[in-house]
Amino acid sequence: MKKRLLVIGLDCAPPALVFDRAAELPNLRKLMEGGIYGKLRSCDPPITIPAWMVMATGRDPGQLGLYGFRHRRGYEYNKMWIANSTAVKEKTVWDYLGEQGRESILVSVPPTYPPKPVRGKLISCFITPSSEQAYTYPAELRQEIEERFGPFKFDVTFRTEDRSQVLKEIYQMTENHFRVIDYLLEDPDWSLFWFVEIGVDRVHHAFWKFMDKGHHLYEPGNPYETAIPDYYRYLDERIGKLLEKIDDRTAVLVVSDHGAKRMKGAFCVNDWLIEQGDLVVTEPPQPGQSVDSLKIDWARTRAWGWGGYYARIFLNVEGREPQGIINPEDYEAARDELAERLKAIRGPRGEEWKTVVIKPQEHYPELNGEYPDLMVYFDDLYWRSAGTLGYGTMYLQENDTGPDDAVHDYDGLYILYEPGKKGGRTKDANILDIAPTILKVLGGPEVSGLRGKIID
């Protein structure tokens, strides 16, 4: 009988919360003891979109043309598009398996909205606007699921001060997901079953400062001190019930798309660009104003930025942007000079930052889509980039778009358990290694052009 593979996706899970706490997580520990595990270096940028599709296709963000959730539309100043499943042009592992006549079941793998046809079954992910939209393939799967479990819960509102409500909703959502997964797991026809639990990411962003004694907003004895480890114990229990349902021809891969760590604050990159003279405005920004609504004098502006877990910096290039002023011949020199200034930024107390500045053309072997001129990880990702501005300071103690205690980190994790193989081994890997490893475990086709290595 052909092998099967259950992929358990834990969005945002860092190695420390699983490997260092394995004693509290008996089911994950059992997989570690019976398999191979280690850190999984995420892609650049280490964020949900594009990371899961890097994993599923074996192609990096440059090849996919995906650098985050939103992208500029061409070189217009204020036109953009939001990434969804239609932006993914490369084949996924489930596409390759489908060509062999093998079925996959996919639940909440980002971005799978709007749902595209697969050989098997699909429930779309957290970017689904609501359960009022079509969110399954085949379409009739939706009714089958809703009759048994009610509408599928795609996400929660996690950037809110009402933490008790957030926690309640995270558990309700996760329980809903696992009940659906339990049910779909009974289908006898799948070769690949891949689900992603977004609740892990949400509990980190909503509760990290309550757990991490190194967080600048940590308060000893707070009521949510154990919210994150409690959720992990609950997850481990739910995973244990899934493991009881699979047979000895089923391999298991637990994987996260990136890690997490405490957020030190948000840096107002556009305020900095204004101060530096790169971004020229005709009206002073209002507190919390978005760069998209700023009155910008484009005829005198050299650069502007977008916020998020990392900063995207765009240059205003003559002949490329509508009112570009940087001569194309000066592009590299202007970009280098700006990159050096960005790397020299210090923290609020004058402390040195370990800021990483990436030039996409040098970083990716292939470059597609609407990429920024510079990608900036402030202080090694500890500081978010604030897209809004006008606060009277460049350093915000908290996220500018609502409460958020955590940032992303470079290393996610993986645990690969294959029945009959020697376990208890450790080996660090790269997110590009996941697609070829899945195809190898399942005896799928050999795909040319994949840069990742098989984990074994």
User: Strands 259-262, 406-409: parallel, antiparallel or unpaired by DSSP?
Assistant: antiparallel
Please state whether 433 falls in left (phi above 0), alpha (psi between -120 and 50) or beta: alpha
| DSSP annotation of 317 | B
Cis peptide before 138 (omega within 30 of 0): yes
CB within 8 Å of 441: residues ≥ 6 apart = 3, 5, 251, 253, 416, 418
How far apart, in whole angstroms, are the C-alpha atoms of residue 110 and residue 195?
10
Residue 401: predicted pLDDT: 79
* 360's tokens: 């996409």
CB within 8 Å of 375: residues ≥ 6 apart = 44, 45, 67, 310, 311, 312, 313, 357, 358, 360, 363
How far apart, in whole angstroms, are the C-alpha atoms of residue 412 and residue 111?
18
* 121's tokens: 């079954």
Residue 316: Cβ within 10 Å count: 25
CATH topology classification for 4-260+409-441: Alkaline Phosphatase, subunit A (3.40.720)
Question: What is the Rg, in whole angstroms, of the alpha carbon atoms belonging to the chain?
Answer: 22
CB within 8 Å of 390: residues ≥ 6 apart = 271, 284, 285, 286, 287, 288, 289
Cis peptide before 223 (omega within 30 of 0): no
Cis peptide before 188 (omega within 30 of 0): no
- Token pair 């790269």 is found at 430
Please provide the DSSP assignment of 102-147 as one string: -EEEEESPSS--S----SEEEE--TT---TTS--EESTTHHHHHHH
Q: Which residue from 343, 345, 163, 381 is spatially nearest to 264, judged by alpha carbons?
A: 381
Question: What pTM was computed for the model?
Answer: 0.96
Domain boundaries, the chain: 4-260+409-441, 265-403
Please provide the DSSP assignment of 140-161 as one string: THHHHHHHHH-S-------SSS
| pLDDT tens readout for residues 353-399 | 999 999 999 999 999 999 999 999 999 999 999 999 999 999 999 88
Residue 1: predicted pLDDT: 59
Helices 48-57 and 434-441 pack at an angle, to 10 degrees, of: 40
β-strand partners of 326: 317
* 106's tokens: 């996919």
How far apart, in whole angstroms, are the C-alpha atoms of residue 55 and residue 230?
28
For residues 20 and 409, is the Cβ–Cβ distance under 8 A? Answer: no
The vertex-418 CA angle with 88 and 451, nearest 5°, equals: 40
Alpha-carbon distances, residue 309 vs 68, 92, 113, 256, 347 (angstroms)? 10, 26, 22, 17, 17
| pLDDT tens readout for residues 88-137 | 999 999 999 999 999 999 999 999 999 999 999 999 999 999 999 999 99
How far apart, in whole angstroms, are the C-alpha atoms of residue 52 and residue 66?
11
Q: Which residue from 272, 266, 264 is spatially nearest to 342, judged by alpha carbons?
A: 272
Q: Where are the alpha helices (DSSP H) in 186-316?
A: 199-211, 227-243, 269-276
CB within 8 Å of 163: residues ≥ 6 apart = 206, 207, 210, 224, 227
Counting as low any pLDDT under 70, the low residues of the chain are: 1
- Expressed in angstroms, the distance from the first to the final Cα of the chain is 21
* 439's tokens: 């195809």
User: Strands 311-315, 383-386: parallel, antiparallel or unpaired by DSSP?
Assistant: unpaired
Alpha-carbon distances, residue 88 vs 30, 59, 83, 113 (angstroms)? 35, 11, 9, 11
How far apart, in whole angstroms, are the C-alpha atoms of residue 371 and residue 312?
9
Q: Which residue from 264, 180, 215, 153 is spatially nearest to 224, judged by alpha carbons?
A: 215
Residue 119: predicted pLDDT: 98
